[in-house]
Structure 1
Amino acid sequence: MVAPFLDSPTKDAGHPLGIFALATVSIADYDVASAAVPSDSAAMAKLATPANEELTAELDGATEWLGLPAGEILLAALTRTIARTLGEGIVAVDVASGRGPLLDAVPLACATSHQMNATEVLAGVHRALAAACESVASDPSEVYFNFIGEVPAGPEPVQETPPALGHLLEVRMYRADGDIHIDWWYDTGRFASHTIAELCEQFPLALYEMTSDALPPF
């Protein structure tokens, strides 16, 4: 997918999200009419980004250095991943972090490094979350960021439960045995498998950028 080039978001002072307010990112590969599986009976599949001790160490170090929760850094990396893979613009994301309340349709700017550096991305995510509030939306957003936190070992791990909230894409993140795990649950009727594979591959690179290049934004 190719998105139109967008100037720096700081150039449009008429909207808090700047020029990004003029563009939205099309998340799915296929619309409802052409979907292989109807949206009311979606088949969800999972692709996992392999757990990585080095990536986990980077995240833990960044939470201390940047003074931000791990969930915000991971969410910032997701916006960068979407920009690189699906296009630049605004994506509404339902956000749950640390098993806290669900924030509906948080508008997040997904930008490549040509538009926003890592520090600006983190600051944008922090502001968007601070301005969001818990509500009950009539319909779920297409994307769900679900940072579960530490999961205990057990016969029926919570992280293996298939999504059932109606999102097209759930990015489920959790800690198990000390490491961060990232699972990409997606509607197989709305996404090509190679799109999810690209998201899966790009996310660690985006997270390394957030943990290595960003300065404390506040």
Structure 2
Amino acid sequence: MSVSVLPDASGAGSWIADYGTAGPPRAADMATVSSSLDGVLSAELHAAQITLGCTAEDVLLAALGRTVARTIGEGMLIVDVVSGPEVAGFRRVGVPCVARRGLSGSELLAAARPGAAGDAEAAHPLAVHVHRDSGTTMGLHWRFDTRGFDHCTVQELAEQFPLALIEVTSG
């Protein structure tokens, strides 16, 4: 699964970015921060799917919203979600970024707003690629436009994500 944050309507960046940028990122502008979910967190994710009656993608999106809220601030994050190896099709989702612990995982999931599906991706200043490393662990690669994000901001997102996932899966 890949989750990509869209630039704002002006194309000048995103509300979550550290800096405004002009134009889409080039390959040389992109960097990656890698992190992982251990076997315990992967099991939490699987159990939450069953308990909440949703997909792993939904739980990961809710955790991303909580992560962004804790690291950058509250708002609505518009993301393109790509499932599988093909990048040709995606679905657009509005993900609430809410830091309040009183909002449960299922409430965060219910607040997500599905948008239209699409057949092409725009340039994204931030993308999270999630894949299985093994039968029990998952890898996350946070690709970001270095013109818009400080490395330390993306590192903080990567560090906060497991904690947000625990909050979402704990109800």
Q: TM-score range by the shorter chain?
A: 0.7 to 0.9
Are 1:107 and 2:65 counterparts?
no
For structure 2, the residue ranges without an aligned partner over 5 or more in a row are 1-13
Percent identity reads 40
**Structure with the bigger percentage of strand:** 2
What residue number does 1:134 align with?
117
Aligned residue for 2:163? 205
1:121 aligns with 2:78: no
Q: Name the structure 1 match of 2:65.
A: 79
Return the offset for 1:115: 7.0
Q: Following superposition of structure 1 onto structure 2, how do residues 1-218 of structure 1 map, counting pairs within 5 Å?
A: 26-32=15-21, 39-41=24-26, 42-99=28-85, 101-104=89-92, 106-113=93-100, 116-125=103-112, 128-129=113-114, 132-136=115-119, 140=122, 166-178=123-135, 179-212=137-170, 214=171
- Asked if the contact 1:50–1:182 (Cα under 8 Å) also holds between the matched residues in 2, the reply is yes
In the TM superposition, residue 114 of structure 1 has moved relative to its aligned partner by 5.7
Asked if 2 retains the 8 angstrom alpha-carbon contact of 1:26 and 1:86, the reply is no
Q: What is the DSSP-based 3-state SS (H/G/I as helix, E as strand, rest coil) of the residue aligned with 1:133?
A: strand
Decide which structure has the larger Cα Rg and report it.
Answer: 1
Q: Unaligned 5+ residue runs, structure 1? A: 1-24, 141-165
Moved over 4 A (4+): none
**What secondary structure is seen at the aligned counterpart in 1 of 2:158?**
helix
Provide the alpha-carbon RMSD of the alignment. 2.2
3-state SS of paired residue (1:134):
strand
Q: Provide Cα deviations, 1:124-167, integer angstroms capped at 9, x if missing partner.
A: 22xx23xx221357x73xxxxxxxxxxxxxxxxxxxxxxxxx21
**Comparing 115-124 and 69-78, the one that deviates more:** 115-124
**C-alpha distance in 1, partners of 2:38/2:159?**
13
Normalized against structure 2, the TM-score is what?
0.80
Alignment length (residue pairs):
154
Matches of 2:75 and 2:103, distance apart in 1: 12
When the two structures are superposed, what TM-score results if normalisation uses the length of structure 1? 0.64
**Taking structure 1 as reference, are residues 180 and 201 closer, same or farther at Cα in structure 2, changes over 3 Å only?**
same
